[in-house]
């Protein structure tokens, strides 16, 4: 699946501190095992690949407007999060400006989109998807090997 990110989130995705994204409901549902192709500025001249990682978990999320002390109310898989969990979720989601709570930054970001229903798509930053390839010539079955092993086998054949 193609995932586009705003410039403000690109450094967090690239460095691996942001390993999930919150997305609206799609026609084709995200699935565990799919490859997350993460880009900044999709469909623009400045588009750049941030990385490709396997999707490891998909959760449902609901976000509603809260009150002044708690600007957003959040449910993940039907379970309401408390204030500290909401703060931690949005900090991990890339809202990290110093001096302002992550939930307040997120409330500003989400204000035109509330109430919101969608998914949290998680990926494994430690397993880059392009480090694994399907090996051909295995009698119809697909075998996953590392890129280094594929290159080694090519060198020995010549």
Whether residues 97 and 42 fall in one domain? yes
Q: Are 19 and 122 in contact (CB under 8 A)?
A: yes
Residue 116, domain CATH: 2.30.130
Whether residues 120 and 154 fall in one domain? no
* Overall number of domains in the chain: 2
User: What are 101-142's pLDDT values in tens digits?
Assistant: 888 889 888 888 989 999 999 999 888 775 544 434 444 443
Whether residues 139 and 111 fall in one domain? no
- Which tokens in the block code for residue 114? 């509330």
Q: Which domain range does residue 141 map to?
A: 132-158
Whether residues 141 and 67 fall in one domain? no
Whether residues 96 and 143 fall in one domain? no
Alpha-carbon distance of 30 to 142, in angstroms, equals: 23
Whether residues 78 and 116 fall in one domain? yes
Whether the predicted model's global pTM rises above the 0.85 cut:
no
Whether residues 97 and 156 fall in one domain? no
């Amino acid at each position: 699946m193609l995932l586009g990110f705003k410039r403000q989130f690109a450094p967090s995705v690239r460095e691996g501190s942001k390993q999930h994204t919150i997305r609206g409901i799609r026609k084709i549902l995200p699935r565990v095992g799919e490859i997350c192709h993460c880009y900044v500025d999709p469909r623009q001249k400045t588009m750049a690949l941030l990385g490709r990682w396997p999707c490891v978990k998909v959760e449902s999320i609901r976000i509603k407007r809260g009150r002044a002390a708690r600007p957003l109310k959040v449910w993940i898989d039907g379970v309401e999060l408390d204030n500290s969990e909401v703060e931690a979720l949005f900090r991990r989601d890339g809202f990290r400006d110093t001096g302002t709570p992550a939930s307040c930054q997120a409330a500003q970001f989400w204000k035109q989109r509330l109430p919101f229903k969608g998914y949290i798509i998680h990926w494994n930053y430690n397993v880059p998807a392009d480090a694994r390839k399907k090996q051909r010539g295995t009698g119809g079955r697909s075998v996953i090997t590392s890129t280094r092993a594929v290159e080694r086998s090519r060198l020995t054949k010549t």
